[in-house]
Structure 1
């Protein structure tokens, strides 16, 4: 069995969740001993598509003509595309039509969460599918005190540290993050992630250029700096309005960060406020939650331990085994 893991725009998406998901699939399949290729000209038994560009559509059609099963990974939804980049809200209705077309044409779907499955089904799509976490590399994302010390030194941090990771988008809760920073001037806030300023709305560009004095946007950072930030953080603050799973959150949990998140449906099944996180729905609630984990070390440590436990079932080794089971079942269905 050989699987084609297909993704367009690898350079562009390398700094996004889709790019991380592809890397996770590669590592997961290596753990599971499943042979794969990234070259569509290579021989393969199954296609696993991650993007919705023209090349993906052509590959889907050509593979189906050859009788090769096509699995589409539903990384994108209408809901999470809105309030992202410039003109995203105007494009979103047209995108939804493309999602309907592609997800319906596939033989099978993979959903990163039960929440995403529910959204996709609400579009009227009936293609059979499976829920599989994007996963997290729990071996790689472990607290590193040396990197934490180095990170605090490089940013000259002497106050409580609150971090976030991801593209700085309105949909990701960017403006709430900035407002919380304004209300907590004695804390340092750092949001790491590629800015893509040229396709951001003007109000986002304005904030990125002129943030509150205690808020820093360093852009995309190397892994060692990312791990250093997560290891040094007093709180991981993830105020996103819409997620299909939230890879950055999985990574923060794996490191043992006490996390503060928005109370949204995608986290309902596995993130429990007061047990492995604190949830809030507005700026006042976020400020109170962040102050709680900063001022109560026992609470912070307990939330961190429980967060680590919560992501163990999303380890890439388990993801690889699940993908292997799915690929095997897909090939058996084809041969019947």
Structure 2
């Protein structure tokens, strides 16, 4: 069994959660002993596992079907999580949904990160088998490390006693960036750091203004940072606060859990079944609730849930995901030739 993993637009979205999902897939397949290639011109593969949604992805899927190959589409994106992101995203969202449904409809099998996103796909009318498989997490990479934590503190000139709240995400309204800054304004004694970046021309003017200058001095936007600094930030901060309004999973949440960090989330449907308030994380709904919870958490006035959170991450480790993907691949290879799908994509 050989898999062609395909990811279009690495230079554009490679730093997003989808980009990290591809990295996780490569390691997951390696851990399960599954041979794979990243070469889209290859022909000696059995299954095309495609992660992206551009024209090149579409044409490669058509080519694979013409060759009689099985196609798996990894449904990382939905209309819901496209909204409130880029300039014009809300106006384009219905067209994006139509495009996604067309692409996903070409597949023999779909994979999506959570039961919540699976439910969304079913509501789109998609009939193929759908597996809800986490994007996974590299536990060793995010295990707390004193050296990395010290490097993080030194880089941002933070004292050992300075309380720090972090978030990781693109500069999207959907991610809760406006709330993050508004809450920080009420807590000038704490440092708030938002890691992540996106081309500034692609986001609405109000978000550009917030990032460029309309934020208090205790809010930092250092851009996209990887390696020891971000790994040290995850475990070395006092709290990971992720006020996102919509996700298909949220790889950054898994990263924070693997870092054995306290986690504060907005109570949204995607977390149902794997994140539970006051069990492996804390949840809020309003800025007032978040403000109160942040003060309690960074001052250790609530039970520490990091061990329970780490156990959640363990269940979604790279090796676990590798075995789940292997199961889906084996099932797809046993699927009968689907003349209806073949005819649809070769017209």
The two structures have a TM-score, normalised by structure 2, of 0.94
Q: Residue 32 of structure 1 contacts residue 320 of structure 1 at CA under 8 Å; is this kept in 2?
A: yes
Using the alignment, how far apart are the partners of 2:202 and 2:302 within structure 1? Answer: 42
1:166 matched residue in structure 2: 169
CA shift at 1:173, angstroms?
0.3
Note the alpha carbon deviations across 1:187-242, whole angstroms, 9 max, x for none.
Answer: 00001012321211100000001121100000011211101111211000000000
Q: Which moved more, 1:290-299 or 1:18-27?
A: 290-299
CA shift at 1:333, angstroms?
2.1
2:212 matched residue in structure 1: 209
Which secondary structure state, in structure 1, belongs to the residue aligned with residue 36 of structure 2?
A: strand
Which secondary structure state, in structure 2, belongs to the residue aligned with residue 171 of structure 1?
A: helix
Using the alignment, how far apart are the partners of 2:33 and 2:302 within structure 1? Answer: 41
1:62 matched residue in structure 2: 63
Q: Residue 193 of structure 2 contacts residue 222 of structure 2 at CA under 8 Å; is this kept in 1?
A: yes
Alignment of 1:243-282 (within 5 A): 243-282=247-286
Using the alignment, how far apart are the partners of 2:140 and 2:308 within structure 1? Answer: 17
Using the alignment, how far apart are the partners of 2:227 and 2:216 within structure 1? Answer: 26
CA shift at 1:297, angstroms?
6.1
Where in structure 2 are there 5+ consecutive unaligned residues? 339-347
Q: Residue 171 of structure 2 contacts residue 203 of structure 2 at CA under 8 Å; is this kept in 1?
A: no
Which secondary structure state, in structure 1, belongs to the residue aligned with residue 261 of structure 2?
A: coil
Using the alignment, how far apart are the partners of 1:110 and 1:70 within structure 2? Answer: 11
Q: 1:283 to 1:298 in 2, by over 3 A?
A: closer
Q: 1:278 to 1:77 in 2, by over 3 A?
A: same
Aligned residues: 334
Alignment of 1:301-312 (within 5 A): 302-312=304-314
1:296 matched residue in structure 2: 300
Using the alignment, how far apart are the partners of 2:187 and 2:272 within structure 1? Answer: 28
Which secondary structure state, in structure 2, belongs to the residue aligned with residue 146 of structure 1?
A: helix
Q: Residue 69 of structure 1 contacts residue 334 of structure 1 at CA under 8 Å; is this kept in 2?
A: no
Note the alpha carbon deviations across 1:53-103, whole angstroms, 9 max, x for none.
Answer: 111111111111111010000011000000001111111111011011111
CA shift at 1:298, angstroms?
6.5
Runs ≥4 in structure 1, deviation > 6 angstroms?
A: none
Which secondary structure state, in structure 2, belongs to the residue aligned with residue 180 of structure 1?
A: helix
Which secondary structure state, in structure 2, belongs to the residue aligned with residue 5 of structure 1?
A: strand
Using the alignment, how far apart are the partners of 1:268 and 1:222 within structure 2? Answer: 29
Q: Residue 10 of structure 1 contacts residue 19 of structure 1 at CA under 8 Å; is this kept in 2?
A: yes
Where in structure 1 are there 5+ consecutive unaligned residues? none
Q: Residue 3 of structure 1 contacts residue 37 of structure 1 at CA under 8 Å; is this kept in 2?
A: yes
CA shift at 1:311, angstroms?
1.2
The two structures have a TM-score, normalised by structure 1, of 0.97
Using the alignment, how far apart are the partners of 1:31 and 1:297 within structure 2? Answer: 40
Using the alignment, how far apart are the partners of 2:225 and 2:57 within structure 1? Answer: 29
Q: Residue 258 of structure 1 contacts residue 277 of structure 1 at CA under 8 Å; is this kept in 2?
A: yes
Alignment of 1:114-133 (within 5 A): 114-133=115-134
CA shift at 1:306, angstroms?
1.0
1:234 aligns with 2:235: no
1:190 matched residue in structure 2: 193
